[in-house]
Chain A
C-alpha cells in the first residue's frame, strides 16, 4: 500500500515523505502557471514604441508607462485609479466595522441568526452583475442618479460584507473566550474588554479582512459597471480600453500594479513583524 514511501517512522525522523516532493513539484508548477502569463505581460510592457501587444518585441522602451500619465487618450487612468483607491478605502473601512461587529455578534446563539447567515450566503453567491442591475433599477425607479459613493459603494458592500463576516467567523473561532472572562473577573468594563483584550487579539484577522475587502473593491467590475454613474473606476476604465484599442499600456498598468502590491505587502509584513516583536517584548517584561 505504501507507494515507495518511507516507513511510518518517517514522521518521527526528519526525512521528508515522497508526498512532499510530489506536492512540492505541483506547487512549483502552479507558480509557473500563475506567474507565466504575468511575466509575459511584465516583459511586454517594456515593448518598443512600434511594437504591439504580442511578441516579438520591437526594441524596448518606457513609452507605455509614460502613456499612462500622458494627457490625451489615457488621461483617465490616473484619475480613475485615485477613484478606485478612494472607493476601496471607504469600502474596506465600512466592511471592517460592520463585519467585525457581526462576527462578534455571532459568538452567541440568538433568534434570527439563521436569517442573517443565509442572507449573507445569498448575497455572496449572487451573480455580481445582477446586484448592480437590481440596485441600478431601484435607483431608476426612485428617480435617483447612480454615483460612486451611493449605489456603487452599496453594490460593493453586498460582496465585501459577507466576505468579511465569513472571514471573521474563522478569526473569532480561534479566540478563547476565557481571556475575556479573565478580564471581566479582574474588573474590566465591557468597553475595556473590547479595547484591551478582544480587539488586540483579533487584530491580525481584522487587518486581513481590511486588506481582503480593499482588494475585492479595487478590482470589482461587474457590480460597479451599472451603479457607478458618470465617473469610471480603474477596472471599468481598463475594460473600456480593451474594448476600444489594445496597446501595451494595459500591460504597463499590470506591471505597475504588481510592483505596487509587492511594496504594500513588504510594508505590511514589516509592520506586523514589528508589532509582534513589541508584543513579545511586553510579554517577556510582564512575565
Chain B
C-alpha cells in the first residue's frame, strides 16, 4: 500500500502497483544524475590535466628535473623563437586551405546524398562507402599516398599514359601539396557527417515553398538551405580545424621533413622530458584553438541549435 499522498490527489483512486517510498526527484536533479558521470569523467580526465599543465608551464627546469616556481621564461623563450611563429603560421595556412576544401567537398557530397538520392537504402550504402576508409588506420591511409603520388607512383603513370606529361611530376610527394591532399583525404568525412545531419532535418516543404515563390536554385541554396545547415557547417568546421591544428604525423610523414607541425614540435620536447616548455607550448596552442573556436561559436550558436 502506498503511503505517499499529495494534497491534490487525496480522492484519486490509488494505483494498485506498490509505490516505492522514494520521493519524486525534481527535473533538474534527474538531469544532473544523468549528466553527472560524463561531467565527472571530463572534469577529472580533461579539466584537471589541463590545469596541471597550465601550472607546470610556469615551472623551472634543468637537465635533471623540474622545479615548482612561477617564472615566465618558458613563454618568453617560446614566443621569441622565430621557429615557433613559422610553425604556427604554416599550421594556420594548412588549416585554412583544408577547411575550405573539405567544406566545399563535404557540403556537396552531403547535399547530393540527402537531396538527390531518393532511395534510402542506396543513401545508406553510399554513406557507408564514404565511411569505410575511415576504419583503416589514419597512419596507413596517410602513407597510402606515398606509392600513389611518388615518382613511379600510380598517379604519374596515369598522367604519362594519358600523355599529359612526359616526365613524372616531382612536386606531388613530400610537399605542401601532399600534406593538403592527405588532410583532405583524412578529414572530409568529419564535414560530411554533421552537414548531412543538418540537411536531413530541413523540411522539404520549405524548399518547395521557396521554389514556388520564384526563387532560383541559387537563391534557395543561399537563403534557405545554407542558413538552415549552419549548425552542421559549424560543427564540421570545428572538427576539421582542430584536427589539423592538433595533427601529429601527417606533416611529419608527408612533407618529407620540410615542415613541422606544432604538436610534433611539442612532442620532441616531451620526449626530451622538458615538461615546462612543452606545457607553455601546449598552453599557447590551447589558447589559440580556444580563440578560433570561440569565434566560430559566435557566428553560429551551436548550443541553441543542438539542445532544443
Contacts and interface: CB of A to CB of B under 8 A. Distances in A.
Interface of A: 1-2, 5, 8, 11, 16-17, 19-20, 23-24, 26-27, 30-31, 33-38, 40-41, 44, 53-56, 97-99, 101-102, 104-108, 110-131, 133-135, 137-138, 141, 154-155, 157-158, 161-162, 165-166, 169-170, 173-174, 187, 189, 215, 218-219, 221-222, 226, 234-235, 238-239, 242, 246, 250-251, 253-254, 257-258, 261-262, 265, 269
Interface stretch (B70-78, B79-87, B128-136): B128-136
A151 B14 CA distance: 51
A40 B154 contact: yes
A231 B182 CA distance: 29
Contacts of B201: 173-174
B289 interface: yes
A265 B143 CA distance: 25
A41 B37 CA distance: 42
Contact of A19 (B31, B35, B130, B217): B217
Contact of B147 (A41, A110, A115): A41
A233 to B, nearest CB: 10
Contacts of A31: 129
Contacts of A155: 45
Interface of B: 15, 17, 27-28, 30-35, 37-39, 41-50, 52-53, 56, 105, 108-109, 111-113, 116, 124, 126, 128-130, 132-141, 143-148, 150, 152-155, 157, 184-185, 188, 197, 201, 208, 211-212, 216-218, 235, 238-239, 242, 245-246, 248-249, 253, 262-263, 266-267, 270, 275, 278-279, 282, 285-286, 289-290, 293, 297, 302-303, 306-308
A169 B157 contact: no
Given A133-B278, A222-B248, A258-B133, A44 B147 contact: yes
A129 B141 contact: no
Nearest to A11: B211
B293 A121 contact: yes
A35 B133 contact: yes
Contact of B246 (A123, A129, A254): A129
A30 B139 CA distance: 20
Contact of A154 (B41, B134, B238, B239): B41
Contacts of A54: 146-147, 150, 152-153
